[in-house]
Amino acid sequence: HAKKQQYDYIQLFNNQIKQALSTRNKLEEGLKTAIKRDQLTVYFQPQVNSATNEVFAIECLLRWQHPELGSISPDTFIPIAEESGLICEIGDWVMEQALTHVRQWLLSNIFDGTVAVNVSLAQFLNPNYLIGLRNLLSKTLVAANKVEIEVTESLFSNQDADHLAILKELNLIGFPIAIDDFGTGYSSLHRIKMMPVNTIKIDKCFIDNIETDVSDQTIVQAVVNIAKSIGLNVLAEGVETQGQVNKLAEIGCYYCQGYFYAKPQPIDSFPNWLAEFKNKSV
């Protein structure tokens, strides 16, 4: 009996692995044609200065509507896109979407702020990355200083000279650079001081309990103080309540992004959201 049970467990385990692999393969296969089949779209989430209620930037966030599996989270499919190399094509497509829409909104006097775009490490390693980006700037007529490139901390903990060189070139072209999810990796503010970085985005996990958790308050206060002292902007991610906005203002962090202001908006909804937000603020 024990043997039989053990065998059943192994079978169950095998089946689970098989199923996970087949889901993964299904996603990878699906991603290959997702662009062509119009299954990808971008949303935009506002970044607000809580002191002035100005929407100074919007972050471009990718969405995938799978025909059978429905809406799939970027946290699920971005890693697959990265591992398979598909992120290069997908990332180029996202950048083009971001620049095209921000240009349209600029021309129609809807929004003249910055657009922030997430860029994966794997995209940087593509030797054609910078050429493509320069071409896109000329094609869309967007100024580089209106496009913030968001990278994660792993890019900074990694000693790879190539990454740093590309980051420096991006900065030379005029792109502001933001470190996303700050505090979840291993980069030090000391290293960041030597990098071409403009903004630190403090990860949501430090913001969640900031109203009550003294150690989170202390950490965020320290990051804000140091960031400011070396001339960096700081933004809090995942701000969901007025209480968090108030506490962050006390700490000196006015740039906020999160559901308190708005969820990521579909392209067609953003102009209306912005108009209503401006109305409420006056």
In the complex, the residues that contact ligand C2E under the rule CB under 6 A are 45, 61-62, 73-75, 78, 91, 94, 118-120, 150, 180-181, 238-240, 257-259, 264
Establish if 233 lies at the interface with Mg ion (CB under 5 A): no
Helical ranges in 108-213 per DSSP H? 121-124, 129-140, 154-157, 161-173, 189-193, 204-207
Stretch that binds Mg ion, among 10-18, 114-122, 212-220, 265-273 (CB under 5 A): 114-122
With H, G, I as helix, E, B as strand and everything else as coil, classify residue 60: strand
- Interface with Mg ion (CB under 5 A), residue from 47, 97, 118, 257: 118
Closer Cβ to Mg ion, 32 or 113, answer by number? 113
- Interface with Mg ion (CB under 5 A), residue from 82, 89, 181, 208: 181
- Partner whose footprint covers residue 89, from Mg ion, ligand C2E, none (CB < 5 to 8 Å by kind): none
- Interface with Mg ion (CB under 5 A), residue from 150, 153, 227, 274: 150
The whole-angstrom separation of Cα 163 and Cα 178 is: 14
Token pair belonging to 257: 């992004």
Total number of residues that touch Mg ion (CB under 5 A): 5
Closer Cβ to Mg ion, 138 or 185, answer by number? 185
CA proximity to 61, closest of 281, 250, 205, 266: 266
Judging by beta carbons within 10 Å of its beta carbon (0-12, 13-18, 19+), is residue 19 exposed, middle or buried? Answer: exposed
* C-alpha R_g of the chain: 21
Provide the minimum distance between the beta carbon of 12 and ligand C2E in the complex, in angstroms, as a whole number. 31
Closer Cβ to ligand C2E, 30 or 258, answer by number? 258
- Say how many C-beta atoms besides its own lie within 10 A of residue 168's C-beta: 13
Closer Cβ to Mg ion, 32 or 96, answer by number? 96
Provide the minimum distance between the beta carbon of 38 and ligand C2E in the complex, in angstroms, as a whole number. 16
In the block, residue with structure tokens 């006015």: 254
Provide the minimum distance between the beta carbon of 148 and ligand C2E in the complex, in angstroms, as a whole number. 11
In the block, residue with structure tokens 């089946």: 15
**12-17, long-range: CB < 8 A, 24+ apart:** none
- Partner whose footprint covers residue 199, from Mg ion, ligand C2E, none (CB < 5 to 8 Å by kind): none
Q: What is the binding site for Mg ion (CB under 5 A)?
A: 118, 150, 180-181, 237
